[in-house]
Amino acid sequence: MFHVSTEWECSLDASYSPLFFHPHIKGSQVIMDESCCTVSRIDTFHDGIVFSNRPVELEEKVTLKILQDDQKWQGGLRVGFTWKDPHLQSGDLPPFACPNLVLQGKTCASVLPDDYLAEGTTISFWVDSWGCVFCSTSLGAEESFLFSGVSVKSPLWAVVDVYGRTKAVQLLDSTCSGFQERERPVEDCMVCFASEASTMMFPCHHTGFCSSCSLKIFKISGRCPLCREKVEKILRISLLVENEGLPSGLGKPVGIHSLR
């Protein structure tokens, strides 16, 4: 397995300060207990966004328990990560994590499947060193890939949107989760569907392209097809392509020790 490390990557045997919800930065319908570990939504189906009190580490599990499932509403819990310090959120939070908070930038989030939303279900989600987000549940199913594109070069706060039928959740102690490093999922290139998606656009960190298609994209437009941000480098496991003086191929292998 090839590995990309950043200054925010954790040591797997490190100890962590307690993880709880940020006591002050929260949606207008959120009420929180004194421990800042249990949140519920007062009314309606929205305005239930909360953040973690501190940045989370790569591979650190954020574990939630569904406490109340109000089935008069449609949809449910949304989770993700933001690399915008919650203290810098200006004014009221938007009513929805998806799409409103995501569209404000520096945030990625996703809706969880309805199968995960029953009362009593425990859900864990985490981000790996490639910026890919996964989740697992107490239902016994294998871990699932949720989305990619999280910037791993910056501090990351967990985002939880207590939305729709999910009326209340409890944040469990992440220090007992026993998280460990995982293999990067194998995906087909979203352009040619013939080769493995093995590259990452920098600095946006979007993935999903094989080396051949990445090179074509780089030469033709120089911009990421997903977000249209200018591509400065293409990362492929241990290969790096600079935006200036691009060779005819992907260049000779060079070690990548940081995405900064």
Structural domains in the chain plus CATH codes: 21-175 (2.60.120.920), 199-239 (3.30.40)
Q: What is the structure's pLDDT at 88?
A: 84
Q: What is the structure's pLDDT at 171?
A: 96
Rounded CA-CA distance 67/69 in Å is 7
Q: Stretch 130-143: mean pLDDT, rounded?
A: 86
pLDDT digits (tens, 9 = 90+) for 164-203: 999 999 999 755 444 343 444 557 888 888 888 888 777 7
pLDDT digits (tens, 9 = 90+) for 102-129: 999 999 999 998 889 999 999 999 999 9
Percentage of the chain beyond pLDDT 70 is: 78
Q: What is the structure's pLDDT at 33?
A: 92
Mean pLDDT computed over every residue of the chain: 79
Q: What is the structure's pLDDT at 207?
A: 77
Percentage of the chain beyond pLDDT 90 is: 50
Q: Residues 52, 158: contact at Cβ < 8 Å?
A: yes
Two tokens, residue 28 = 């207008």
99 φ, ψ (degrees, to nearest 5) = -100, -10
- CA nearest to 38, candidates 28, 26, 47: 26
Residue 196 forms beta bridges with which residues?
A: 188
- What is the H or E stretch that residue 214 is in? helix 211-220
> pTM of this prediction?
0.64
Q: What is the structure's pLDDT at 123?
A: 95
Q: Residues 222, 215: contact at Cβ < 8 Å?
A: no
More confidently predicted of 32 and 210: 32
More confidently predicted of 147 and 193: 147
Residue 198 forms beta bridges with which residues?
A: none
Rounded CA-CA distance 239/150 in Å is 20
Three-class DSSP category at 203: coil
CB-based burial label for 61 (10 Å; 0-12, 13-18, 19+): buried
Query: Sorting pLDDT into bands at 50, 70 and 90, what band is 87?
Result: confident
More confidently predicted of 95 and 196: 95
Two tokens, residue 29 = 């319908």
Q: What is the structure's pLDDT at 108?
A: 96
Query: Sorting pLDDT into bands at 50, 70 and 90, what band is 80?
Result: very high
More confidently predicted of 249 and 236: 236
More confidently predicted of 95 and 207: 95
For residue 37, pLDDT beyond 70: yes
